[in-house]
Amino acid sequence: MKRILIVTGQSGSGKSSALQVLEDLGYYCIDNLPLALLPEIVAKLDHENNLEQLALGVDVRSTQADFQEFDHVFEQLQKHGVVDVIYLTTQDQGLISRFSASRRPHPLATRYKTLLECIAIEKSLLLPMQFRATVNIDTTDKSVHDLKHTLLSKLGQSEDMVVILQSFGYKHGIPLDADYVFDVRHLPNPHWDLELRKFSGLDTPIQEFLGANDQTNAMFNDIYQFLEKWLPAFAEGHRHYITVSIGCTGGQHRSVYMVDRLRKALKANWSIQVLHREMKHWS
């Protein structure tokens, strides 16, 4: 895992909206997790998936003891990638107006008498995370569109469409989130070569084996030319991301090779995210 974002801040300041923006950018988002569980969950995700971008929503519903241990949690997360904290804040009067308009209670409303008291206590509880924040955003006068633009700017990302390239194995089922699915099971299968079976499509022996095959090269050229032709049309339609899934039998050799080759060919013109769904099954 390469980048982990912790999205937190005052209730009503736009945390859910920020997570939606990040999800559109290709982040795998999880919301409302207790702080104490973050290291364990991230470790599991890092072991079983090839996620490059993860966003974790945390709010004041974690226990006070959890907040006091945030520095320890932060250090544990750093073992799995670069960690940034996004802290959202809003002026008190703005929060009061938002809670009044939504008619929803503050998360601390059952423990304190007034909304202003809830806001003040929440600020105090969130201080350990605010001190660690690398991105601070005041959403007092921001619309959802403004928040998106600010996030993109502060994270060093653009509004360009993200192309998600995903390898998978048909024996584990077709991905339900795919926009396009290409089947490469007709290509030569390295699995039947005992010397090659232990490798994945990311390894040189598999790349050399498949790259020397005319059918493989023809299939790659057809998929690449299709994407080069039609990705601009999707981008012009204001799509935030598109998922292209490549499948072989087990999801270890041919599909992984094809995804990696497409990544190298497309990265000059497109923002690429890669997911090898069956990595946990690789021998």
Binding site for GTP: which residues?
59-62
Q: Which residues are annotated binding-site positions for ATP?
A: 9-16
Answer yes or no: are the C-beta atoms of 80 and 43 closer than 8 Å: yes
Return the closest-CA partner of residue 73 out of 43, 108, 45, 46.
43
Residue numbering of the annotated binding site: 9-16, 59-62
Q: In terms of Cα–Cα distance, which of 132, 154, 134 is closest to 142?
A: 154
CB under 8 Å, gap of 24 or more: what pairs does 72-79 form?
A: 73/35, 73/36, 73/38, 73/39, 74/6, 74/132, 76/38, 76/39, 77/4, 77/6, 77/38, 77/39, 77/42, 79/43
User: Are 45 and 34 contacting, i.e. CB atoms less than 8 angstroms apart?
Assistant: no
What phi and psi, each to the nearest 5 degrees, are found at residue 74? -60, -45
Q: What is the DSSP letter of 85?
A: E
Which residue, 42, 39, 54, 68, is CA-closest to 3? 54
Tokens at residue 221, please?
């050229």
What is the spatial distance between Cα 206 and Cα 220, in angstroms, rounded to a whole number? 15
